[in-house]
Chains A and B, each alone.
Chain A
Amino acid sequence: MTSQQEIDEEILEYAGVRVPGGHPSRDYPPYRSSGLRHPRQALTVVTDPEAVELYTPVFGAGDVTALDADLTRQHSGEPLGERITVTGRVTDRAGRPVRGQLVEIWQANAAGRYVHRQEQHPAPLDPNFTGAGRALTDAEGNYSFTTIKPGPYPWGNHVNAWRPAHIHFSVFGTAFTQRLVTQMYFPGDPLFAFDPIFQSVTDPAAQQRLIAAYDHGLSVSNFSLGFRFDIVLDGPSATYFEEDHQ
């Protein structure tokens, strides 16, 4: 199997490449699983102003309750680990807030273990932590979760491969085109340099947009440390068309 050193050399070949929007290329050889799972044909451009994709699924008060955003209160006891508050604002590229939309997260526990049967590495499960939550953004586009800081975990990409600690995010925008699934990382993680998934974002400025900021103003006294993770969604929407074509 490939060594970390070989992966490091491959990562260097692509490092610094600037891609529009900063998104990863779907063909990123250091992340081995991308090899057979990226298209070879060019994508087909769609510009239809009536496209269904310029509108979006909607969610409401019946779909999400305030408690769903607190991952530390889903069981009878308190989960182990460092309690954190993760807050941010979801906007489009024009800075307009994405209101009343669904934000979903899932993550490993403090020991780096997921509640998933396919994950069997020898770290303990926490009976008081599942690691999935949901929130609706408010009128200004803000969301907030209470959870615990996930641990890093090993994976099978190469020998001694470890993922930096991260929280998976799934976000809806003001159009289906703006759909985003991403991962939020923590500042200063020593594993960034070694991780081909993080490094698949090759533009250093874009990498910074995946890293939450420690925000002391968000820390809650005697309770949690605060992190800010603002999310900017890419892609057109019906409202763009209306406003840009007036």
Chain B
Amino acid sequence: MSQNLEPTPSQTVGPFFGYGLPFPGGSDVAPAGHPDAVSVHGFVYDGEGNPIPDAILDFWQAAPDGSRAGSPGSLRVDTSNGRLLGRDGVRFTGFGRVGTDGDGHWALRTFAPAPDAPYLAVCVFARGLLHHLFTRIYFPGAPEDALLAGLSPERRATLLARPESDRVLRFDVRLQGGEAEETVFLDFG
């Protein structure tokens, strides 16, 4: 690196992001009704097991063909009135964003990620969380990569989405807990 600038510190997303960050269709990474779409859903919990109603999750994944290039068009602004329309249902952007409901629940509809990157990257923000947390959602049948291989079985289990019904997976995020409960969060250095 030519320079080593000191980074801008993180601050909490606070409680009032609801009119700034969510956008229409943020959870529809795959179009409704698409035969290959998979729904992933769950709750975000605090250290006492209470659901968190003011969390927001960013999702990022490789395209089904393995491309990590992404595509624009997640937000799509209506140029006539400035409102956000959300994605067009054709282009796969790889990006999703979902705020938790009043009961701490979230749901995302997407495609299974590529076999060589068999996870959804997740960035968790919440009121009370001063610095975001990264985790991953691994789909059933994902090959064991270096991250999973390095974890104890009970820690690994926190990263594995659990089949709940046909094309529906369950994944809860626990911000705080014992080894078997707390979600594995990641440090990319």
Residues of A within 8 A of B (CB): 21-26, 28, 31, 33-41, 43-48, 50-65, 67-68, 74, 91-95, 102, 104-106, 108, 114-116, 118-119, 130-132, 134, 168, 170, 176-177, 179-183, 197-198, 200-201, 205-207, 209-210, 230-236, 238, 240, 244
Contacts and interface: CB of A to CB of B under 8 A. Distances in A.
Given A62-B76, A62-B77, A44 B19 contact: no
Contacts of A116: 15-16, 18-19
24 contacts: A24-B9, A39-B133, A40-B182, A44-B187, A47-B189, A54-B188, A55-B62, A55-B68, A59-B72, A63-B72, A93-B5, A94-B1, A94-B4, A106-B17, A106-B20, A106-B21, A116-B18, A177-B134, A181-B10, A183-B12, A197-B12, A206-B9, A234-B8, A236-B188
Contacts of A52: 60-62, 68, 113, 117, 119, 121
B58 interface: yes
B186 A44 contact: yes
A92 B146 CA distance: 27
A12 B11 CA distance: 19
B160 interface: no
Contacts of B133: 26, 39
Interface string B80-113: 0010000000000111000000000000000001
Contacts of B3: 93-95
Given A33-B128, A37-B129, A39-B185, A63 B15 contact: no
A37 B175 contact: yes
Contacts of A236: 188-189
Given A31-B128, A176-B134, A235-B189, 14 more contacts: A39-B176, A40-B176, A44-B155, A45-B186, A52-B60, A52-B121, A58-B72, A62-B75, A63-B72, A68-B82, A115-B19, A183-B14, A209-B7, A209-B8
A101 B110 CA distance: 23
Nearest to A74: B82
Contacts of B147: 44, 46, 48
A32 B60 CA distance: 31
Contacts of B79: 65
Given A65-B82, A176-B123, A209 B6 contact: yes
A236 B187 CA distance: 11
Contact of B72 (A60, A233, A235): A60
Given A44-B184, A63-B72, A93 B12 contact: no
B166 interface: no
A44 to B, nearest CB: 5
Contact of B20 (A47, A168, A198, A230): A168
A197 to B, nearest CB: 6
A22 B176 CA distance: 23
B75 A24 contact: no
B131 interface: yes
Contacts of B70: 55-58
Nearest to B133: A39
B74 interface: yes
